[in-house]
Amino acid sequence: MFCPVTLSLSLSLSHTHTHTPFTMSSAAAAARSLRLRALCAPPARLVPLCSARRKLNVQASTAAGRLKTIDDLPGPSALTTVYWLLLRGYLPKTHLLQGVHRSQYGPIWRSRVGPYDLVNVASPDLIAQVIQQEGRYPVRCELPHWKEYRDLRGQAYGLHVDTGENWYRMRSVLNPKMLKSSEVSSYAPIIHQVVDDLLQRLELLRSRSVDGATVPDLPSELYKFGFEGISSILFETRLGCLKDEIPHSTLRFITAVNDMLSLSQTVPLLPRWSRAILPLWRRFVQAWDDIYDVAQGLVSRRIAEIEARAQRGEPTEGLYLTHMLSSDKLSRDEVYITIAELLLGGVDTTSNTLSWALYHLARDGRVQDRLYAEVKAACPDRRPPTSEDLSRMPYLKAVIKETLRLYPVVPGNGRFVSENEVILDNYWFPKKVRGAASRWRSDASTCCCSVVFLFVFQTLFHLCHYAASHDQAEFEHAERFIPERWDRSQAPSSRRDRPTPGFYQHHPYSFIPFGVGVRACVGKRVAEMEMYFALSRLMQHYQVQPEDGAPIVRPKFRTLLIPEKPINLRFLPRA
């Protein structure tokens, strides 16, 4: 879920072209535009074939009757982007730049940022068109620095880095245990134990606060909840992250993840020679070593327990890790890296979403009262909800959806489309092309020379789903927190057969916080269950309020969309 496309928009200000379609010298860069035009001009027969195959509403309407190419796209120059990021201050809020550029250039534009040459798409219809053409084994983005680290240590690539059939094989092991509702429901008891710990932890923090009610820096507490939640599922055991004394390995992991994520923004932009001078690459490697070490340690500990049980003749069936280990489709190395990546993907995401949800509930008594009433009716006497109870809590789900609409933790996604040509509206993008091209240079005398370049060209699409989910045309009062918009039972259309576009209805691709298609988030169901259980039980026990004079908190982009400042909330016990 870490999308360097979005990362790059915030930090790639100057860099050699490690990632551009062509691997070539700077002299060659000058000739790029010309060659691209030649490369991209679609053969006339391709157009009807592609459009028929994909059943897309493609209109080839350029004057010449040909589709346009990447070079015809509008968009900011590299310098203009620097201006927006640095002088206009959009560096920590690149998610907002999506909307700014969409209003300047329309729903599709090109931007060249550092090493990236992007085709940005910011309307639900265009996003849908990219996804429909993404091919059998979609690639989000290349993560060359992650890959380099894995090569350095001889590790397996893992979900984020791997592609093609290898990636597909890993997903085929994980999907059934992660995305099937019946399987995910079996994690309910252990998640409830983790929520019990969270409630105890909040009680402790309240009792320590000056006013006996405030929990300072809620996101960092929810981070521990997220870590404990996902590890309890993966390792089928409790780590104790919500205790006062956090295990050393947990602290090490948390620090390493923070380092790795922030260094992931800069490391790919630095030339290799700088590694001898700057410590950043070394720190990046160290951070990954720590993440891997912790994951490997936890897995090994669990394996030893399982083996001991087997020797005693006790049953060994477990939830997640046991399933992965018993599958003969994954090597031990792949298990280690998969566990590391699931831990990595499963912590900040749920914790930040929960923080934002509580932030809004605290500020909107009406929404909080309605949510509490729903939870109380479905689960009287503070009974912890079961998975079945959740189906009677549409407003709870609406609150989470509305939170993810306003604050999609991953505000932009990427797709390298390399298997097929792609057609978006009137534009044609070639499939991955490897080859050589030559440029002729002639001088005043008659002698000429040919320079041959090797290149690989593939189009990197940046799916601007922050802009899509904040689009006023799709979501009326788009900047306001209105969970009711997800309540279809309230939709006028369902009563009077008169749809209200923009409020109760929206394009399905205008809201894709978990991504979409076969490469979409593998942790979606687990994340939803954790958030539903935690939020409903917090409502059963507490009324949340902002501190007196609490400031408005806005999101900032730091690899993920996170609160720009700590969120402190008052938790008042319900009678």
Nearer to ligand HEM, 40 or 342 (CB): 342
Q: Which stretch binds ligand HEM (CB under 6 A): 29-37, 320-328, 372-380, 518-526?
A: 518-526
Please report, in angstroms and rounded to a whole number, the separation of the first and last CA atoms in the chain.
Answer: 41
How many residues comprise the chain?
575
Residues 6+ apart with CB under 8 A from 374: 393, 394, 395, 396
Considering only 227, 359, 511, 514, the residue that binds ligand HEM (CB under 6 A) is 514
Nearer to ligand HEM, 150 or 519 (CB): 519
Nearer to ligand HEM, 119 or 522 (CB): 522
Nearer to ligand HEM, 2 or 542 (CB): 2
CB of 560 to ligand HEM, least distance (A): 9
CB of 361 to ligand HEM, least distance (A): 17
What is the rounded distance in angstroms from the CA atom of residue 502 to the CA atom of residue 14? Answer: 40
What is the rounded distance in angstroms from the CA atom of residue 295 to the CA atom of residue 335? Answer: 10
CB of 497 to ligand HEM, least distance (A): 34
Nearer to ligand HEM, 523 or 563 (CB): 523
Residue 441, burial from CB neighbour count under 10 angstroms (0-12, 13-18, 19+):
exposed
What is the rounded distance in angstroms from the CA atom of residue 454 to the CA atom of residue 436? Answer: 5
CB of 259 to ligand HEM, least distance (A): 19
Q: Is 411 in the site for ligand HEM (CB under 6 A)?
A: no
* Closest C-alpha to 161, from 135, 179, 140: 140
Count of residues that interact with ligand HEM, criterion CB under 6 A: 28
User: Per CB under 6 A, which of residues 214..273 are in contact with ligand HEM?
Assistant: 230
User: Per CB under 6 A, which of residues 98..137 are in contact with ligand HEM?
Assistant: none
Give 556's strand partners.
562
The DSSP code for 176 is: H
Q: Which stretch binds ligand HEM (CB under 6 A): 31-39, 291-299, 343-351, 432-440?
A: 343-351
What is the rounded distance in angstroms from the CA atom of residue 107 to the CA atom of residue 119? Answer: 10
DSSP code per residue over 93-107: GHHHHHHHHHHHH-S
> C-alpha angle 68/71/73, rounded to 5°?
70
H, E, C per residue of 290-335 = HHHHHHHHHHHHHHHHHHHHHHCCCCCCCCCHHHHHHCCCCCHHHH
Considering only 5, 47, 342, 378, the residue that binds ligand HEM (CB under 6 A) is 342
Give 438's strand partners.
452
* Closest C-alpha to 539, from 496, 513, 515, 569: 569
Q: Is 346 in the site for ligand HEM (CB under 6 A)?
A: yes
Considering only 113, 291, 361, 410, the residue that binds ligand HEM (CB under 6 A) is 410
Annotation-wise, does 40 bind a ligand? no
Q: Which stretch binds ligand HEM (CB under 6 A): 110-118, 340-348, 365-373, 444-452?
A: 340-348
Considering only 82, 96, 263, 521, the residue that binds ligand HEM (CB under 6 A) is 521
Q: Is 345 in the site for ligand HEM (CB under 6 A)?
A: yes
Nearer to ligand HEM, 80 or 420 (CB): 420
Considering only 60, 119, 254, 527, the residue that binds ligand HEM (CB under 6 A) is 527
Q: Is 515 in the site for ligand HEM (CB under 6 A)?
A: yes
Q: Residue 405: what residue type? A: R
Tokens of 446: 């008659």
CB of 134 to ligand HEM, least distance (A): 9
Nearer to ligand HEM, 35 or 506 (CB): 506
Q: Is 195 in the site for ligand HEM (CB under 6 A)?
A: no
CA distances from 318 to 173, 177, 303 (A): 15, 11, 11
* x-marked contacts with ligand HEM along 159-188 as a string, rule CB under 6 A: xx----------x-----------------
Residue 489, burial from CB neighbour count under 10 angstroms (0-12, 13-18, 19+):
exposed
The dihedrals phi and psi of 229, each to the nearest 5 degrees, come to: -60, -55
H-helix segments, 394-550: 394-406, 465-469, 492-496, 524-541
The dihedrals phi and psi of 451, each to the nearest 5 degrees, come to: -110, 125
Q: Which stretch binds ligand HEM (CB under 6 A): 210-218, 347-355, 374-382, 532-540?
A: 347-355
Q: In this structure, are residues 418 and 135 in contact, taking their beta carbons and an 8 Å threshold?
A: yes
Considering only 294, 522, 539, 544, the residue that binds ligand HEM (CB under 6 A) is 522
CB of 334 to ligand HEM, least distance (A): 13
Q: Which stretch binds ligand HEM (CB under 6 A): 179-187, 268-276, 342-350, 488-496?
A: 342-350
CB of 12 to ligand HEM, least distance (A): 20
User: Per CB under 6 A, which of residues 352..381 are in contact with ligand HEM?
Assistant: 353
Considering only 110, 519, 537, 570, the residue that binds ligand HEM (CB under 6 A) is 519
Work out whether strand 448-457 and strand 433-442 pair parallel, antiparallel, or are unpaired.
antiparallel
Q: Is 385 in the site for ligand HEM (CB under 6 A)?
A: no
What is the rounded distance in angstroms from the CA atom of residue 170 to the CA atom of residue 174? Answer: 6
Nearer to ligand HEM, 91 or 410 (CB): 410
Nearer to ligand HEM, 269 or 410 (CB): 410
Q: Which residues bind ligand HEM (CB under 6 A)?
A: 1, 140, 159-160, 171, 230, 341-342, 345-346, 349-350, 353, 409-410, 413, 513-517, 519-523, 526-527
Annotated binding site: 521
Annotated binding site for heme: 521
